[in-house]
Chain A
Amino acid sequence: MSEINRREFIKLLGAGAALGSGLFGSRAFGAAAPHVVVIGGGTGGATAAKYLKLADQNIRVTIVERNKEYVRCYGSNEVLTDHCTMDDLVIGYDALKDKYGIEFVFDEVVGVDPEKRRVDTAGGTRLDYDRLIVSPGIDYRWEAIDGFTPEVAETTIPHAWKAGPQTELLRRQIHAMPEDGTVVIAAPPNPYRCPPAPYERASLLAEWFKAHKPRAKILILDPKEGFTKDQPFMLAWNRLYGFNIPASHMEGMPDDVRQHDSGFIEWVPGTEGGKVTGVDPKTNTVHTANLDSIQGDVVNVIPPQKAGKLAFKMGLTNAQGWCDVDRNTFESRVHKRIHVIGDSCIADAMPKSGYAANSQAKVAAAQIVHMLRDEPLEEPLFANTCFSRANTEYGVSIAAVYRVRDGRIVSTPGSGGVSPLDAPPMANRLEALYQESWMRAFVEDTFA
C-alpha cells in the first residue's frame, strides 16, 4: 500500500514537471525534468536514447528492455562460417548508462496507458512519461508457411533471423552436413528486416564451402523477382562461385561475366517456383507454390514478417501489420505522444535496416526535444548505407539519402544506388574494408 502511495506521489511530481516545462521556457525544464521512456534497447531505442541525451542532458531518459545485453543481428551471418563468434555480437549497455546517464529498467512491459502516459512492467515498475518511444523490431508471420512453427525453427529448420540460439543451430547444421550437401535458403517477401542478409548469408556460406565442402550447394528459393543489390551480388557470385547470372539480370554486366558448368549458388525467383508455402521438418523438405517438394541437408526458412509483438499489444499496427507514423516525427497515427521507430514503423522508401532505425531514431529524438521545448519542428533527413560481403575481400554496397516529400519518405532523386557493375577490383576490396569499419563505427554511434 505504501508502495502504491509512493508511486502516486511520483506521478504527482511528474505532473509538476509538465507544468514546469511550460513555465520555464525553452531550455530550462524547471526542477523536474521531462521524462522520455524508450521501450526496446535495440538499435532504434539505443540510438534515440543516446541522441536525446546528447541534445539535452536535462531530459530524463529511461530504456525499458528485457535483456541485459544486446545481441546484434548485423554481422551475425559471420558466426555461421566462424568469421566471428556469438560473443563478438554481444553489446553491453554500460556506455549508455555511465557516459550519458540513461536509466535502464531490465524488465518486460506488461501495460502501456496512452491516456495516463504510463508504462507498467512485470516486475512492478511504473514509469510516467512525457513522450514514449517504442522500437519493437519484427515478428514472424508463421501462418504464411504451412507446418512452420517457433518450435520447428528452434529445433529443426532455423530461420536464424534474430541473432541467438538459432544462429548457433544453423551454424552446427552447416558444419555437420555432408560434403556434397545442399543448403536451402528460403528468402522472405518484402518488406522484411535487413533486405541483403539472405544473399550475404549465401555468399559467406559459398566462401566457406569453397574451402571446406567444395561439392556443397546453396539453393536460394525466393518469392521475389529480384532483391537489393542483386546485380552486384550476382556479378560477385559469377566471379567467385560459378553462379550463372539469369537473363533477367544481365543488363549492364561487364565483359568478364562467364557461363559456368556448375557453381555453389543457385537462385530461383518466384515465377520459377521460388515461393515456399510449407515445410516438413520430418524430412527437411520445403513445399513451393509450384507444388514442388525440395529436400535439403540444411533448411533455412526465413518467414514473412510483421511489426514486433509489443506494437500489436499496444494497438499501434495497421491492417498490414506495420505501424503508421507521422514521417516527420515518427509519432504514431494511433496514439499521441507515442513514437514508433525502426523495423516496426512504415517508412516508405527506407529499408528495415539497423542504419535506417538509427537514422529514424535521431530524427525522432531531435523532434521530441523540440516538442518538449515548445519549439518548431525541423526538416528531417535520413540515410541508409549497407555494405555486404560477397567474400572476405569483396564487398558490395547500397546507399541512399531520404527526405520527406508530401508526407512520405522518398530517396533524394539523382542520388544513391548500388555499387557500379564496372567498379574496379580495388573498389570491391575497399567496400569489404568499409564493411569492417562500418560494423565498429555503427555500434559505437548507436551504443557508445
Chain B
Amino acid sequence: MNRKLLLHSVVLAGSLCAVGTATAESRISGEMMANACAPCHGTYGHLENEYMPPLAGMPEQDFIEGMKAFREGTRPATIMDRVARAFSDEEIEAMAEFYAQQTDGGDNE
C-alpha cells in the first residue's frame, strides 16, 4: 500500500514536472506543428497514394516512437532525422495527440 502510494506520487510528480517543462519551454500547439508538416504529409495528416506516409489517425505511441527513433538516429532516414531533431519530447507528444485525433477523413477530403 505504501509502496503503491509512493509510486503514485512519483508518477504524479513526474507528470507535473513534464507539464512544467512543456509550459516553460514550448507552448506550441500540436495543430501549429502539424500545419508545418502538412505540405509533405497532407492537411491535418490526410494524404493518399504518396511516397510519404499519411499521419492522420496514427496511434499516438507509434508516432512518438517513430519520431524519437528518427531523432536519435536509430531509425534509417532520408530527411526525417533532420526534421525530428527540431522537436522536444513534449512537442512530439503534442503532435502525436493531434494526429491521433484526425480520424474523420479530413476536411480536405
Listed in ascending order, the chain A residues whose CB lies under 8 Å from chain B are: 51, 54, 99, 355, 358-359, 362-363, 366, 378-383, 385, 397, 399-401, 412, 414-417, 419, 423, 427, 430-431, 433-434, 436-438, 440-442, 444-446, 448
Contact = CB atoms under 8 A, between A and B. Distances in A.
Contacts of A430: 51, 78
B32 interface: yes
Contacts of B87: 401, 415
Most chain-B CB neighbours within 10 Å: which of A363, A378, A381? A381
A381 B33 contact: yes
A438 B40 contact: yes
A437 B28 contact: no
25 contacts: A355-B39, A358-B39, A366-B35, A379-B32, A383-B36, A397-B79, A399-B79, A400-B86, A414-B86, A415-B83, A415-B84, A416-B85, A427-B78, A430-B51, A434-B79, A437-B40, A437-B52, A441-B40, A441-B52, A444-B42, A444-B43, A445-B43, A445-B108, A446-B39, A448-B108
B83 A362 contact: no
B27 A416 contact: no
A419 to B, nearest CB: 7
Contacts of A434: 40, 51-52, 78-79
Nearest to A383: B36
A378 B94 CA distance: 14
Contacts of A444: 42-43, 108
Contacts of A416: 82-83, 85-86
Nearest to B37: A383
Bin chain B's interface residue count: 20 to 34
A445 B39 contact: yes
B28 A381 contact: yes
Contacts of B51: 430, 433-434, 436-437
Interface in B40-60: 40-43, 47, 50-52
B104 interface: no
Contacts, number: 107
B39 A431 contact: no
A51 B79 contact: no
B107 to A, nearest CB: 6
Contact of B50 (A400, A437, A446): A437
B69 interface: no
A400 B79 CA distance: 10
A399 B82 contact: yes
Contact of A401 (B38, B41, B43, B83): B83
Contacts of B29: 378
Contacts of A419: 78-79
Given A415-B85, A415-B86, A434-B79, A441 B36 contact: no
Contacts of A362: 32, 35-36, 38
A224 B82 CA distance: 26
A379 B28 contact: yes
Contacts of A427: 78
A441 B33 contact: no
B26 interface: yes
